[in-house]
Copies of this chain bind each other. A is one copy, B any other.
Amino acid sequence: MDQRKASNAKRGGAPTSADVARLAGVSQATISLVLNGRASKVRISEETRKRVISAAAQLGYTPNHAARSLRQRSTKIITFVLPTLENPYYSDIVSAAQIAAQQHGYAVSVIPARTKPGEFHALSLLQGAAFDGIVVAGRENCAAPELLQLAARGVAVVALQERSPDPSIYSVSVDLEAGGYLATRHLIELGHRRIAHVMEELPRPDTWRDRVDGYRRALAEAGLPLDPSLVVITENSMAGGCKAIEQLLLDRQRPTAAFMYNDQMAVGALHALRTHGLRVPDDFAVVGFDGLAMGQFTAPPLTTIDHPRRDIGRIVIETLIGAIEKGSLEVKQHLLPVKLLVRESCGGLEAPNQKP
């Protein structure tokens, strides 16, 4: 009776490396060596190698993730902590990240966590070292103090669109200020003088330049006054954009254009304008922000500020893996450029009224 332990596979669970070892007539160590590709470089005869491979295949063996992670102190998983899956904005970022991560042997997952201030959802997982790296998006999530602690413990963390005061948290962002400037300047060039900006509530106005700062800069540059009643704060959703525009239309001195915080809000804006009988762009112009695919199919198609989302995804992963494997990186902050994507919601396509 040499069979000291019952085969795990027999017990209904997944086969273990011990099961494979038994079947192949070798030791567990050999299984590990062969299956991790260290066989050729180090030692292990071709014959045993084949025997191991075939035994593993026969049992359908896959290494247990928890055991491997425990032993190697690394899970080879990078996770995105996203505020919502409702906005397809992150879709391309995550796809690009997945492709990049895969090339380095990492998997990527997503944890939806709409953090209310003070609570951070999937926290125990993050703190429990279930991931080698994490990408945090959303203002509330990025502001969570726990991130610092995570970084201190050696988890690589990058914040999307948020610059952390602490250098242990990397950041990959898009130049929001430039985007706001581009959008607003576009409207000014098209002859608009009363331009509204509809935005989400921003908790910390001085920390970080956002769209609204570019909006101000463009206005100032053109010698236009900044009318506070033209800057409206609303909930970040299509419905929010819709409500904000309705409010603006009530004004006795209506604006003739609006620069919206993002494409979702812009869709709401378009809807509100349509509902109130205003033609876009003839009666009112709208610029979005993000460059979602959806913008091609709105009525009319949306002029917007396009983000290099695939680049964001790729750079996030390169940063994270660099940090995980090298420990620390030179460049902590990435700032990516945006560009104006002219479609039809502002006019200016056929008869452009460009700056000289």
Residues of A with Cβ closer than 8 Å to B?
A: 12-14, 60, 62-70, 73, 75, 77, 79, 84-88, 90-91, 94-95, 98, 107-112, 121-122, 124-125, 127-130, 149, 153-154, 237-239, 242, 267-268, 270-271, 274, 293-294, 296-299
Q: In the docked arrangement, what's the CA distance between A60 and B126, Å?
A: 13
Q: How many copies does the complex hold?
A: 2
Q: In the docked arrangement, what's the CA distance between A294 and B86, Å?
A: 10
Residue from the list B12, B66, B98, B238 in contact with A112, Cβ < 8 A: B98
Residue from the list B14, B122, B130, B271 in contact with A299, Cβ < 8 A: B271
Of all chain B residues, the one with the shortest Cβ separation from A74 is B66
A154 in contact with B12 given A66-B66, A95-B112 (CB within 8 Å): yes
* CB <8 Å contact, B79 and A70: no
Residue from the list B66, B94, B122 in contact with A75, Cβ < 8 A: B66
Q: In the docked arrangement, what's the CA distance between A270 and B297, Å?
A: 8
A65-B124, A77-B130 are known contacts; what are 20 more A-B pairs with Cβ within 8 Å? A12-B154, A60-B149, A62-B124, A62-B127, A65-B128, A65-B129, A66-B66, A66-B69, A66-B70, A66-B130, A86-B88, A86-B91, A88-B88, A108-B111, A108-B112, A242-B297, A267-B294, A267-B297, A270-B297, A294-B294
CB-defined contacts of A91 to chain B, threshold 8 Å: 84-86
CB-defined contacts of A75 to chain B, threshold 8 Å: 66
CB-defined contacts of A239 to chain B, threshold 8 Å: 293, 296
18 contacts between A and B (CB under 8 A): A14-B129, A62-B124, A62-B127, A68-B128, A70-B70, A79-B109, A86-B293, A95-B112, A98-B121, A109-B111, A110-B111, A237-B293, A238-B297, A239-B296, A267-B294, A267-B297, A274-B299, A299-B299
